[in-house]
Structure formats: C-alpha cells, structure tokens
Amino acid sequence: MRTQTRPVNQQTGERRIRVLIAKPGLDGHDRGAKVMTRALRDAGMEVIYTGLFQTPQMIARAALDEDVDVVGLSILSGAHNSLVPDVISELNASGLDDVLVVVGGTIPMSDVDKLYQVGVSAVFGPGTPLERAISYIRDHAPGRDDTL
C-alpha cells in the first residue's frame, strides 16, 4: 500500500484532490455531472468539468494534462458497456493506471459487475446520496510517491 498521497504541501500538509468529471459519448444529459461537480467543489476538491460529447481519447488527455486523482464518468445513454472500457484502456495507455475511476448515471444492476471487472472502483446510480460519493472519493483517491 502506498501511503504518500498526491503532492502534499510540505509545510501545511495540504492536499487538494483533483477530479475530472466527464461526459463520454453522445448523451446530452449533464444535470448529474453538474450537480456532482458542484458537490465535490463544495467538499473542497478541485473539479474540472469537460463538457459534453467527449471521446475516450479526449478524456484521457484531459486526465493526463490536469494530473487528476479521480475520473468520474457520467453516462445516461446506456452505452456504458462500450464507453467505460474504452476510457479505461485510454487511461492505461497514457500511464494513468492509478487513477480512480468512478461511474455515475443510469447503470442497470446487472451491468455493475462488468464495470468493476474492467477497472471501475465504484458505481453511483440514481438516488446515491451526494455525501456517499464525496466520502468514497475522499477515502479512495489514490496515493503517489514521486521522486525528483
């Protein structure tokens, strides 16, 4: 287990979790994504929202440049079984295999296990209390140990 988390201010011990909220694919329903963006910001995180209609490549590039700890995918189109594995393989190809991937949206219970198998850490379906998603991300944002 790594104990060192993302870069921590040596003096203040401050650590800001950075989260990318992304809408992959062709679904235009972004209320959930925006609500999560706001909730995570209010929980003290730095949240980058990509906007709609993102390809897996665009999401991986944004996650790389922005050096996020967490990628949250919001999908209400039903295409999660193809989009999520694509995003995760793009993330891995960019060397981001330690990024925490969570999924929100309309995901049938029967698909949840499939998403876990491809590397998703948590699925937050409709009705998930914001507090649960926030504390999950806070507790599971990955560690890092960079050396100069």
Q: Does 109 bind other proteins (CB under 8 A)?
A: no
Closest CB to other proteins among residues 23, 115: 23
Among 28, 41, 108, 116, binds other proteins (CB under 8 A): 41
- Name the minimum Å distance from CB 55 to other proteins: 8
Q: Does 3 bind other proteins (CB under 8 A)?
A: no
Q: Does 38 bind other proteins (CB under 8 A)?
A: yes
Q: Does 113 bind other proteins (CB under 8 A)?
A: no
Q: What is the 3-state secondary structure (H, E, C) of the chain?
A: CCCCCCCCCCCCCCCCCEEEEECECCCCCCHHHHHHHHHHHHCCCEEEECCCCECHHHHHHHHHHHCCCEEEEEECCCCHHHHHHHHHHHHHHCCCCCCEEEEEECCCHHHHHHHHHHCCCEEECCCCCHHHHHHHHHHHCCCCCCCC
Within 43-102, the residues that bind other proteins by CB under 8 A are: 43-51, 54, 57-58, 61-62, 64-67, 94-96
